[in-house]
């Protein structure tokens, strides 16, 4: 099945919201990681989301260029071709883009979708993220309004963030020393986001509730999912049940399964997964190198073993392992066996 159309992607979000589950959004940076994500979704009969950071785009464009926009377009076009092999729906998203990078990164990607649409083709992307959370809320919403209007012209959903996710990730606004008070979105913030954006187009919202990017032991990150419940209630009390946000969960590594599942009750429909899948891809490759050190390295004048230093031998192991971790994310988020592809 080709990459989801805008209407199919909207239906995915609606189905998750109504069904109390969420989609893993898997960060990818290469053909093997794209295949791993798609295999993980397909093996679990789960629709899902694949996303690219600015850093992934730089990597994909090659060391001589490090062109985040060019590389991201290359990855997205590859995803469109690869997705035709799988019987699940997959949406494409770009991850954190800070305001100072938006003109050089998001604008050309939106234009690339516009060019496709002019030829009668599917959107290149169904979703983009603008992370202006480093700005005061009023400034954040002003630039978010600008980009939501641009996206809405082409049936692209915009993901926004208010409150800062701590830790570090490509393009994210937070840092390891982000003050605790900035890690929590208030009900007043959530009302302000609704008032600023609801009339302009469809958007998803990464409200923060103690999230931290990076890798942590289970239970090490102190989340307060109740913040999402209170914020949703504040908005719905003022604007009715239809004002419920489609929420996004960032920085989930180290979260307890009970906390992840609790967020599904409060409107989370997308959860980013990056650190855990990076590790799952790399771990079997490290094992391969250690177990076959005298084959991957020419030791004492020997010639090594082509079968074990052929990159395919260990990249396949990484792909398999990462696909299994994607499957775990589907299970955690209750999206297993819930593909809606039969509706289309």
Query: Tokens 């971790």 map to which residue?
Result: 325
Question: C-alpha angle 34/220/26, rounded to 5°?
Answer: 10
Q: H-helix or E-strand containing 273?
A: strand 268-273
Q: Which of 14, 47, 67, 95 is flagged as catalytic?
A: 95
Contact 183, 210 (CB under 8 A): yes
The Cα–Cα gap between 184 and 211 comes to 8
Cα dihedral angle (30, 78, 62, 321), rounded to 10 degrees? 10
Contact 318, 331 (CB under 8 A): no
Burial grade of 258 (CB within 10 A; 0-12, 13-18, 19 or more): exposed
DSSP string covering 108-159: HHHHHHHHHHHTTPPPS-SEEEE--TTS-HHHHHHHHHHHHHHHHTTT-EEE
For the record, the structure tokens of 324 come out as: 């299994």
310 is catalytic: no
* HSE-CB for 223 with a 13 A CA cutoff: 28
Supply the residues annotated as catalytic: 95
């Amino acid at each position: 099945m080709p990459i989801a159309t805008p209407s199919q992607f909207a239906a995915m979000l609606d189905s998750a919201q109504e069904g109390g589950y969420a989609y893993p959004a898997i960060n990818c940076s290469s053909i093997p990681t794209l295949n791993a994500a798609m295999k993980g979704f397909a093996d679990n009969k789960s629709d899902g989301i694949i996303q690219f950071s600015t850093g992934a785009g730089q990597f994909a464009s090659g060391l001589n260029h490090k062109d985040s926009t060019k590389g991201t377009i290359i990855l997205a076009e590859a995803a469109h071709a690869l997705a035709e092999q799988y019987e699940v729906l997959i949406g494409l998203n770009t991850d954190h883009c800070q305001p100072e990078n938006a003109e050089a990164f998001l604008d050309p990607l939106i234009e690339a979708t516009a060019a496709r649409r002019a030829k009668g083709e599917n959107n290149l992307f169904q979703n983009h993220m603008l992370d202006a959370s480093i700005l005061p809320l009023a400034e954040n919403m002003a630039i978010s309004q600008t980009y939501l209007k641009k996206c809405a012209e082409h049936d692209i959903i915009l993901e926004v963030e208010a409150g800062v996710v701590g830790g570090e990730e490509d393009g994210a606004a937070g840092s390891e020393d982000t003050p605790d008070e900035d890690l929590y979105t208030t009900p007043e913030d959530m009302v302000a986001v609704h008032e600023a954006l609801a009339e302009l187009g469809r958007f998803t919202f990464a409200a923060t509730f103690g999230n931290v990017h990076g890798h942590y032991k289970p239970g090490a990150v102190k989340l307060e999912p109740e913040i999402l419940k209170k914020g949703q209630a504040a908005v719905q009390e003022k604007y009715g049940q239809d004002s419920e946000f489609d929420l996004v969960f960032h920085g989930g590594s180290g979260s307890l399964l009970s906390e992840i599942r609790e967020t599904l009750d409060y409107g989370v429909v997308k959860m980013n997964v990056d650190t855990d899948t990076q590790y799952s891809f790399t771990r079997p490759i490290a094992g391969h190198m250690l177990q076959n050190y005298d084959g991957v390295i020419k030791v004492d004048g020997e010639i090594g073993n082509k079968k074990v230093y052929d990159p395919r031998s260990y990249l396949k192991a990484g792909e398999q392992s990462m696909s299994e971790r994607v499957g775990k994310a589907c299970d955690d988020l209750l999206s297993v066996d819930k593909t809606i592809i039969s509706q289309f």
